[in-house]
Amino acid sequence: MREQVSFGPEERGFVYAVARRIVGTPEEADDVTQDTLLTAFRHRDAFRGESRYRTWLYRIAFTTALGHLRRRSRSRETVAANEDGLEYQIPDGAPSPEAQLIDAEHARLVRGAVASLAPPYRDVLLARSTATEPEVAKQLGISIANVKVRAHRARKQLREALCSTRVQHG
């Protein structure tokens, strides 16, 4: 026997609790609750009674809340201030000037660490970034096993160099 679809205070409270756990704020949970109940009402004929009604409603609430989070993350904007104190908006996903500066500094440190590697290791590491091990072996005239060993040692030295740089720069 199919349960009847109804949206009383108990269902609203249940959906709100699910939404609140997922989206976090009461205002967003209210929006998700409203959207969930509208979706459930529109698709009430899709409920076949194969599962409990609450399970069906939970799934709609969960899916609606996740969709809300996706839309929110795509549309969020960050407000930042430049040196003149004027505010400007950075669309979410676009790096801030501070993030760009940090990325540039990281790139500079990595380039320096790669340049400090011994030539046999540096050559393998750079060649390995665009070619397979057999291609690198052929290109450098060494065995595949030697390519693997040199690449491993290069990564290890690179890791050590970058870790010591990170400790020095705080």
Which residue, chain included where needed, has tokens 């590697």? 117
The amino acid at 78: T
% of the chain residues with pLDDT over 90: 29
Pick the CATH number of 97-169 from 1.20.1250.20, 1.20.120.790, 2.30.30.90, 1.10.10.10: 1.10.10.10
Range of lowest pLDDT (6-15, 51-60, 74-83, 127-136):
74-83
Residue range(s) occupied by CATH 1.10.1740.10 in the chain: 9-75
Residues 66 and 21: beta-carbon distance below 8 Å: no
Residue 20 above 60 pLDDT? yes
* pLDDT higher than threshold 70 for residue 105: yes
Would you say the C-alpha torsion 142, 146, 148, 150 has a positive or negative sign? negative
Determine whether domain 9-75 maps to CATH 2.20.28.270: no
Q: Is 89 left (phi over 0), alpha (psi -120 to 50) or beta?
A: beta
Give the residue with greater pLDDT, 1 vs 67: 67
Matching residue, tokens 């890791």:
159
As annotated, the residues of the chain forming the CATH 1.10.10.10 domain(s) are 97-169
- What whole-number distance in Å separates Cα of residue 126 and Cα of residue 149? 14
Tell me what pLDDT residue 2 has: 44
- Asked if pLDDT for residue 24 goes beyond 60, the answer is yes
Is residue 166 predicted with pLDDT exceeding 90?
no
Is there a contact between 5 and 54 (Cβ–Cβ < 8 Å)? no
Burial class of residue 65 in the structure, from the number of CB atoms within 10 Å of its CB (0-12 exposed, 13-18 middle, 19+ buried): buried
Check whether 120 has a pLDDT greater than 90: yes
Summarize pLDDT for 80-103 with one digit per residue, the tens: 455 555 555 555 556 666 677 778
Name, of 19-23, 31-35, 99-103, the range with top average pLDDT.
31-35
Average pLDDT, the chain: 80
Average pLDDT, stretch 121-125?
92
